[in-house]
């Protein structure tokens, strides 16, 4: 049935009673959360609700909104007007924005561990593939990023190392593909290394569930801490694990070190005229430190310096079998995690947190982790096939690509003969890809298999 419309520039615009959606791909996110993450089985038995919406329904509703790059609680009211989302969850209606806000704030700390388990279970049952490094290891990259929340009075928002007011969550990514295993919210003033040892104690066993390949933990100089090394050394005893942590030189007498290297007749490699470096190793307990001293006597403009400009870098690692330059190159590849930060903050628009309470925002970060990984699974398994929309080959699809090519799928909801059908336009470039993922990878039996 169509309602009368008006003609604009030769095109007649009408209102239709048909149930149409511009983001049919969110149905796949909802099914990943129900079938793979198993949120109903994890949350609902622990937190029974006598009447009203179950905890899993509230969580899935908000995660589906996060998967559409929307964070504000009030925007849930826009989803409630689209019957396709309720149909995907197989419920009569979605919870309201106040219900979602109040439930998240009430369950904030209680949900953290169950959501972490649901996240690993989703990755496990989705049978993610993790590409190994040339050394045969799978990287586990960790770093702190900044969520700017200036001009707000949110609890524990503080002055961060980027000289902005906000939060400094710790993120841990598994594999070069960037699957997120931890997104722990922290006050903006908290140091990177503080309590990071506890996060590694939790995350390393999760990573072992997802791959049987040796792990390589890579951290920057903010994590150069004896407590972190102790946790990593204990993890090495439990299984195959190596680490590569940038050394923090703190206060060092560079002139004395330079004189010592000259006395030791160290060989300097010249990278260009007026710039050279030397490498050497210092043994330690269970690890060693690779050091690099760079000496610049001529700047890039060709100006000779009165005194040499010295720069000292170091890496604490257990990769004793690798060559020095190979170790440095491995750490340089650690910088790809900055792209994952950018996808969370830019592509998914996740920077200004929705609640004024710290615990509630911490829970929102865990929900965002599920949304992020659901989109990552879709991007890796749906958008790299021969039937996906034409796009250059890539080892990893960005979040904005997944949003544009999969989530923003046009669809029509049809109810007929006690069935709910999501109709996709046959002429749409991604129709075959969407159907393959929904009927194959997603709806197939998702029993866990041994990691490959």
Instruction: Flag the least confident range among 73-82, 153-162, 318-327, 386-395.
Output: 386-395
Of 43, 210, 227, 67, the closest CA to residue 140 belongs to 210
Q: Which of 351, 357, 354 is nearest to 106 (CA)?
A: 357
- Residue 445 has what pLDDT? 44
Q: What is the pLDDT of residues 98-132, one digit of tens each?
A: 999 999 999 999 999 999 999 999 999 999 999 99
pLDDT band at 286 (very low <50, low <70, confident <90, very high): confident
Q: State the pLDDT at residue 447.
A: 47
**Most confident of the following: 86-90, 268-272, 390-394, 448-452:** 268-272
pTM attached to this predicted model: 0.91
Report which secondary-structure segment, H or E, holds 28.
helix 26-31
Using the predicted structure, report yes or no on whether residue 89 has a pLDDT greater than 80: no
pLDDT of 449? 47
The pLDDT of residue 424 is above 90: no
- Residue 265 confidence (pLDDT): 86
State the pLDDT at residue 20: 82
Lowest mean pLDDT, pick from 139-143, 222-226, 390-394: 390-394
Boundaries of every domain in the chain? 14-125+358-442, 134-246+319-351, 247-317
Q: Given this model, what pLDDT does residue 446 score? A: 47
- Mean pLDDT over residues 268-275, rounded? 93
What is the arithmetic mean of pLDDT over 147-156? Answer: 92
Beta-bridge partner residues of 310? 295
Q: In whole numbers, what is the pLDDT of the chain averaged over residues?
A: 90
Residue 440: pLDDT over 80: no
Any idea what the Cα angle at residue 247 is, between residues 323 and 322, rounded to 5°?
10
Residue 450 pLDDT > 50: no
pLDDT of residue 93: 87
Measure the CA–CA gap between 213 and 239, rounded to whole angstroms.
Answer: 10
**CATH class for domain 134-246+319-351?**
alpha beta
With 0-12 / 13-18 / 19 or more C-beta atoms within 10 angstroms meaning exposed / middle / buried, residue 88 is: buried
What whole-number distance in Å separates Cα of residue 85 and Cα of residue 71? 17
**Chain mean position to CA 351:** 13
Mean pLDDT of 129-148: 94
Closest by CA position to 271, among listed 291, 298, 306, 305: 298
- The structure tokens 């194959």 sit at 440
Q: Which residues pair with 288 in a beta bridge?
A: 283, 317
Percentage with pLDDT > 70 across the chain? 95
* Average pLDDT rounded to a whole number, residues 312-336: 93
pLDDT digits (tens, 9 = 90+) for 330-351: 999 988 889 999 999 999 999 9
State what percent of residues in the chain have pLDDT above 90.
69
> Which residues touch 157 (CB under 8 Å, ≥6 apart)?
149, 165, 166, 167, 187, 188
The helix (run of H) or strand (run of E) holding residue 317 is strand 304-317
**Nearest in space to 42 (alpha carbons), one of 91, 125, 111:** 111
Q: DSSP secondary-structure letter at 322? A: S
Residue pLDDT, tens place only, 186-240: 999 999 999 999 999 999 999 999 999 999 999 999 999 999 999 999 999 877 8
The answer to whether residue 242 scores a pLDDT higher than 90 is: yes
Task: Provide the pLDDT for residue 5.
Answer: 58
From 166-175, 256-265, 364-373, the region with the lowest mean pLDDT:
256-265
| Angle in degrees, CA 331, 336, 339, rounded to 5 | 155
């Amino acid at each position: 049935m169509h309602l009368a419309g008006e003609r604009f520039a030769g095109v007649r615009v009408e209102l239709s009673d048909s149930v149409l959606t511009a983001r049919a791909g969110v149905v796949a996110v909802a099914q990943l959360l129900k079938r793979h993450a198993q949120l109903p089985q994890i949350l609902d038995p622990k937190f029974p609700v006598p009447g009203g919406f179950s905890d899993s329904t509230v969580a899935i509703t908000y995660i589906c909104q996060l998967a559409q790059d929307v964070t504000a609680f009030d925007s849930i009211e826009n989803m409630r007007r689209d019957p396709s989302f309720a149909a995907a969850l197989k419920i009569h209606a979605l919870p309201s924005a106040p219900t979602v806000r109040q439930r998240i704030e009430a369950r904030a700390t209680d949900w953290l561990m169950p959501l972490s388990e649901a996240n690993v279970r989703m990755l496990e049952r989705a049978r993610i593939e993790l590409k190994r490094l040339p050394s045969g290891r799978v990287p586990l990259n960790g770093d702190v990023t900044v969520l700017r929340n200036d001009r707000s009075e949110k609890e524990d928002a503080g002055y961060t190392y980027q000289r902005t007011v906000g939060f400094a969550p710790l993120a841990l990514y598994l594999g070069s593909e960037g699957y997120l295993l931890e997104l722990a919210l922290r006050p903006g003033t908290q140091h990177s290394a503080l309590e990071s040892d506890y996060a590694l104690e939790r995350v390393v066993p999760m990573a072992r569930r997802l791959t049987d390949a040796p792990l390589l933990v890579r951290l920057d100089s903010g994590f150069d801490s004896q407590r972190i090394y102790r946790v990593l050394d204990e993890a090495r005893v439990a299984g195959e694990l190596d680490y590569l942590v940038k050394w923090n030189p703190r206060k060092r007498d560079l002139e004395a070190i330079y004189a010592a290297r000259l006395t030791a007749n160290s060989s300097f490699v010249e990278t260009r005229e007026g710039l050279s470096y030397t490498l050497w190793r210092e043994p330690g307990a269970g690890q060693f430190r690779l050091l690099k001293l760079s000496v610049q006597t001529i700047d890039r403009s060709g100006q000779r310096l009165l005194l040499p400009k010295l720069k000292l870098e170091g890496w604490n690692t257990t990769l004793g079998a690798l060559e020095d330059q190979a170790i440095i190159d491995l750490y340089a590849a650690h910088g790809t995690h900055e792209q994952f930060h950018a996808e969370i903050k830019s592509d998914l628009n996740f920077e200004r947190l929705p609640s004024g309470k710290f615990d509630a925002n911490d829970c929102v970060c865990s929900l965002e982790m599920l949304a992020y990984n659901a989109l990552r699974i879709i991007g890796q398994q749906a958008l790299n096939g021969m039937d996906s929309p034409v796009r250059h080959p890539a080892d990893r699809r960005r979040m904005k690509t997944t949003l544009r090519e999969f989530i923003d799928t046009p669809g029509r909801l049809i109810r007929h003969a006690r069935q709910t059908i999501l109709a996709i336009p046959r002429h749409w470039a991604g129709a075959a890809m969407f159907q393959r993922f929904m009927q194959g990878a997603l709806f197939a039996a998702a029993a866990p298999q041994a990691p490959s």
